[in-house]
Structure 1
């Protein structure tokens, strides 16, 4: 027998913030726009906010329906169920990419002699254990991690400024090559990280305070968007566009430059901590989303789905032969495909459902209790 677990609005807010941050500040996204990368990030954040408005409107149409139920309602049980299965596979794929990121970045920056398969196995095992305890436990874990994330990033920002590393002239001249390089960088920045908010459609219906959902979601995304733009600009101010563009982990490079009062240095441990926290939350959220979506499609229990999906994630994380190929797949192929899930299908649902009134029985089949913890 299962019980429907719920989270409160504060827990959803923190989940959105920590999930979207993830490991994003560690990289200099949009660097193809050179010193205007922060501007491309700002425009992408605005576009991401518009997409979030669409996601919230879809959720408000059926406040007690998860993503799988929304798909089945709008497209019918067969087509909608098939699309929900594809979404579940996509969530597992995205989780796999983050598992591989943990392995690659950890061996690159911290544990050079430790086999990647051990690192990836341990982080995925931790995520599986968290999922087995239910969404409420995961939400509390995120609540506990959030102050640590805030304190760590705040410390990094203050130390960078106090060290005198920030040179605002690195951001000039603005739009030196015109607006086109900025506009070309925007679509990929929308796809990652801002449009990943679509994943929250799996969790929004679990929030107790349905009336506060819209306000909480918008505030959370606005906060994280401004933070990501700030971090993007800060890295540019320290490293400049040339160095930031050729460095694997620009934020780590920035932190390694910090020298304060001749004794405070080597703050790599803070960046490493943020790396593990961000990727753990991202892996677990995506893993959760895949399991919950398949529960709604198949009617199976989380106990029967947890390990098969986990095995799929772990096995596929070895398909890419090296980190160069892994990054190429992610940046050149994945980011071109994911708008189908982030924009096309949600927009189609919004249009199809304009004249429909949601009825729970219309979704049919499977279990709607996404967030069920098996007893």
Structure 2
């Protein structure tokens, strides 16, 4: 029986997924390889992400109230499942560190330029340690609080840029000027795996939704809202700073927000954009951190709260060394991680796992029907 603080409502699940999906994705110019058609690649990748989420539901609905690690044990047997559980724990913690690094690099270059990065890493993980140690319900409430602010600020900045005349929709033309090839290449695997494939972390959360029967529909709505938010952000970025400016900018949304001046006295609204991104990344780090801790709990039969402090301190230190500099961090995130980690852990293994679960259940049902 799952404790009450390890359950979330459907509304919390929806808002948590929205904050998670848009969290770090709006920082970078995702789909930039498709140039002015980047927004189409985001829509295409979101459709593929929705299909992938249905595969996750393929084994979650067949084995309700079991998270990813428990499903592995059912499908593969304990000895093999232990190996894959270790691998997924490492994967969740590694991506947790990478997302943490995204936020720290953002803050270091925009707001807290003189603050040592070690202090920033520790402060972020202290916050995430507090959230995860308080239980899944608290993480859900944080998503419930942060998601409306994040989406609200995103559309506020976008509409202010439009009304101020800073957005030229002509920069989005020609649509599909170079055909569908660049759009597909930008969508797969880059945009599909980041951010949509990262919903693999929610296989630790979705089974413990209070109204699990509605979780699939709610999750689809969350992907729809997230993709529309990312498309809107992409269009604003291209319409404001252009394709070349978006490609060169480290943080395209911030570059767009810096252009905005309201009444010649409200400026530097990019600080608002930075705050907005911080909210989403805190949610994302907490979800990945929670997933890794639950894996350790499954392996050791010790409540995951016991691992919060030591793992939080270890990850805050390792986040500093996950890449030597920002250029290396971005290169790894774009060129290496999608192929080496995301595709196997987000797509390959879950598809195989779903097939094994369905085969095993069908085999058991057939054996049970025999006289």
Asked if Structure 1 and Structure 2 have the same fold, meaning a TM-score greater than 0.5 normalized by the shorter chain, the answer is yes
**TM-score by structure 1 length?**
0.92
1:25, 1:228 within 8 Å by CA — same for their partners in 2? yes
Partner secondary structure for residue 317 of structure 1: helix
Q: Aligned residue for 2:223?
A: 221
Partner secondary structure for residue 25 of structure 1: coil
Q: Specify whether residues 138 and 25 from structure 1 end up closer, same or farther in structure 2 by C-alpha distance, changes over 3 A only.
A: same
Given the alignment, which residue of 323, 332, 337 partners 1:334? 337
Q: Aligned residue for 1:355?
A: 359
**TM-score by structure 2 length?**
0.93
- Separation of aligned partners in 2, 1:2 and 1:99: 29
- Separation of aligned partners in 1, 2:181 and 2:152: 37
Deviates more, 1:73-82 or 1:311-320: 311-320
Unpaired runs of at least 5, structure 1: 359-375
- Superposed, 1:104-123 pairs within 5 Å as 104-123=105-124
Aligned length: 358
Q: Aligned residue for 2:164?
A: 163
Q: Aligned residue for 1:235?
A: 237
- Separation of aligned partners in 1, 2:205 and 2:22: 18
Given the alignment, which residue of 333, 347, 364 partners 1:343? 347
Cα deviation per residue 1:38-60 (whole Å; 9 max; x = unaligned)?
A: 11111111111110111122210
Q: Aligned residue for 1:127?
A: 128
Q: Specify whether residues 4 and 153 from structure 1 end up closer, same or farther in structure 2 by C-alpha distance, changes over 3 A only.
A: closer
Q: Aligned residue for 2:366?
A: none
How far 1:297 moved relative to its partner?
A: 2.2
Unpaired runs of at least 5, structure 2: 363-371
Cα deviation per residue 1:33-91 (whole Å; 9 max; x = unaligned)?
A: 21111111111111111101111222101111001001111111111121112111111
- Separation of aligned partners in 2, 1:162 and 1:215: 35
Q: Aligned residue for 2:154?
A: 153
Deviates more, 1:133-142 or 1:184-193: 133-142
How far 1:101 moved relative to its partner?
A: 1.6
RMSD across aligned C-alpha pairs, in angstroms?
1.7
- Separation of aligned partners in 2, 1:218 and 1:201: 14
- Separation of aligned partners in 1, 2:279 and 2:316: 19
